[in-house]
Structure 1
């Protein structure tokens, strides 16, 4: 007898909390500032801002392509719960975390404003804007974390058995935690 709750091929997608739209400003504003320096210097020196050579406009093209690639990567955010693992797709990174490696009894939903101890420290290999983190980070209290944080007020912190953590910002963190616990309990009973 097949029960929907125990189907081995069941995959559930959870929406990631939508970050504020102004986050891309942190990517594009510095690039546009850097790109505008040379033309402004040329204008104040009485020269035309651009010449018909690649050296004059090539930097704009390359930085635009880099910015476009980073924008596409920034928009790649996905949380999927599969029967035996949680898959997190965050910008350039994908992490699959086995349910058996999670310490779900210690998992909790936190707000960084109220619980700053859970906030990641420096990044070791990640993508970061104010209010957005994706990739590998060091935790302030020691250990490492894989993060997909888009909303600092609702972060699901999942400790792992190896001392590291997973931090994600689903739209409904409690629902994601309940689903992980349900699957882990189902696997323990099987």
Structure 2
């Protein structure tokens, strides 16, 4: 294996961005409507707030598209929206890793967002699992998630295009399983 190996992230449909854009457009519409309703008020706040909302929408849209899974030497690097996680292969419990579908294995699904970016069908950043353990997530397709438990009790959950290929590459780097 080369020193740097990229794994495609499972695609996430662009229509999911409607969960971001529709609320921002509603806020902008309400602001314009209330400003036009009060002609005696200055419209300065519109000249400040509307460009701010546009910049915010652009930044959040850019963040939504920023994601990668890279295996570099003996470290897995997952980059997702505003977050990045680097995990040495030696810190993973690969004998317990599995590819899951959240519809069938709900216990692997993150439940509480602690510091993340999420919308229906997309989770990025730091979450808590049902058992209160920590997880770093890049989930774009809940039907094919690679669950990688770590030795510290936390986990990494990613949605690569080909989860088996990533798991095989990690196992190849780790070498043969050790006897306990």
TM norm structure 1:
0.87
Counterpart of 1:97 (choices 64, 70, 87) is 87
Offset of residue 60 of structure 1: 0.8
Counterpart of 2:154 (choices 164, 172, 182) is 164
The answer for the alignment partner of 1:33 in structure 2 is 26
- What SS is found at the alignment partner of 1:151? coil
C-alpha RMSD of the superposition: 2.0
| Within-5 A mapping of 1:3-14 | 5=1, 10-14=3-7
Whole-angstrom CA distance in 1 between matches of 2:73 and 2:175: 11
Q: Which 10-residue stretch deviates more, 34-43 or 79-88?
A: 34-43
- What SS is found at the alignment partner of 1:127? strand
| Within-5 A mapping of 1:48-87 | 53-87=43-77
Whole-angstrom CA distance in 2 between matches of 1:41 and 1:82: 53
Whole-angstrom CA distance in 2 between matches of 1:115 and 1:55: 49
- What SS is found at the alignment partner of 2:85? strand
- What SS is found at the alignment partner of 1:120? coil
Whole-angstrom CA distance in 1 between matches of 2:90 and 2:46: 56
Whole-angstrom CA distance in 1 between matches of 2:113 and 2:145: 17
Runs of 4+ in 1 over 6 A off after TM superposition: none
Whole-angstrom CA distance in 2 between matches of 1:143 and 1:56: 44
Runs of 5+ in structure 2 lacking a partner?
none
Whole-angstrom CA distance in 2 between matches of 1:167 and 1:94: 13
Higher Cα Rg, which structure: 1
The answer for the alignment partner of 2:139 in structure 1 is 149
TM norm structure 2:
0.92
Whole-angstrom CA distance in 1 between matches of 2:96 and 2:122: 24
Counterpart of 2:17 (choices 6, 24, 31) is 24
The answer for the alignment partner of 2:118 in structure 1 is 128
Offset of residue 46 of structure 1: 7.4
